[in-house]
Structure 1
Amino acid sequence: MKMMMAAVFAGVMGAGAAWAADPAVGTWKTQVDDGAYAHVKMAPCGGAVCGTIARTFNSDGEYKSKNLGKKLVIDMKPSGGGSYKGNVWRPSNGKIYIGKMSVSGASLKLSGCVAGGLICSKQTWKRLK
């Protein structure tokens, strides 16, 4: 029984270390969209990565948006080489798009697409934490 508990503990700790090494996990600053930008906290969600709006800003500074705490990046699953596939929510129109994401150093490229990925809107985010 002790051996089994030790194996389970080691497996859980190893999984946590793997998520900590995920390049997308952290806090990112979005580009300005419709006059505002956000800080998005990317964290593990099941077998994927999700991004929640943590802070919002406009030309007057930080403000309390109705979108605080909502998922902007939805179920992005790693597809290898720092790339991910999932969904993206655009607060300005309330629509969810097919999403792609890639991480390279302190830069995260995110796109939301329609028409099977033929028409995409893209942003590049900068890592804060």
Structure 2
Amino acid sequence: MKRLLIAIAAFAAIANIAYAQDPIVGNWRTELGDTAEIASCGSGYCITLKSGKHAGKQIGTFGGRDGSYEGKITDPGANKTYNGSVTVSGNALKLKGCVLKVVCEAQTWPRL
């Protein structure tokens, strides 16, 4: 019985490591000072504004893992959507949106 309990505890520990949250998941502070939540949705991740003028609006969908993601980002003020990329390094998220991969703008958001 003791061996069975040890085996179950070891399996549970390994399962927790395998299903650790991706680094993109969490709350981030935008350059305007709003809070943006990034959470799993479908087979990727969605960015939803949680505070500010556009609170409740989904502004991005991305796929990827381990700190590197590709997808779409929407400028909520202009209501225009762009191809984008996100990289996460530690507690910093770099978001980049481009028009035709020629004209790009980037922002860096700190983790809350």
Q: In which range does the TM-score fall when normalised by the shorter chain?
A: 0.7 to 0.9
CA contact (8 A) 2:38 2:47 kept: yes
Distance of 1:87 and 1:127 partners within structure 2: 20
Residue 40 of structure 2 aligns with which residue?
44
Residue 31 of structure 1 aligns with which residue?
31
Distance of 2:34 and 2:82 partners within structure 1: 18
Distance of 1:73 and 1:127 partners within structure 2: 17
Mapping for residues 26-105 of structure 1, pairs under 5 Å: 26-32=26-32, 37-56=33-52, 65=53, 67-74=54-61, 76-78=62-64, 81-105=66-90
CA contact (8 A) 2:37 2:49 kept: yes
Runs of 4+ in structure 1 off by over 4 angstroms are: none
Matched, 1:123 2:110: no
Secondary structure in 2 matching 1:22 = coil
Distance of 1:54 and 1:122 partners within structure 2: 21
How big is the alpha-carbon RMSD for the aligned residues of Structure 1 and Structure 2? 2.0
Secondary structure in 2 matching 1:55 = coil
Residue 47 of structure 1 deviates from its aligned partner by 1.0
Distance of 2:49 and 2:93 partners within structure 1: 15
Unaligned runs of 5+ in 1: 1-13, 57-64
Distance of 1:81 and 1:114 partners within structure 2: 25
CA contact (8 A) 2:46 2:58 kept: yes
Residue 68 of structure 1 deviates from its aligned partner by 1.3
Residue 72 of structure 1 deviates from its aligned partner by 1.3
Q: TM-score, normalized by length of structure 2?
A: 0.79
Q: Give the fraction of aligned pairs with identical amino acids, expressed as a percent.
A: 40
Bigger CA radius of gyration: 2
Residue 8 of structure 1 aligns with which residue?
none
Unaligned runs of 5+ in 2: 1-14
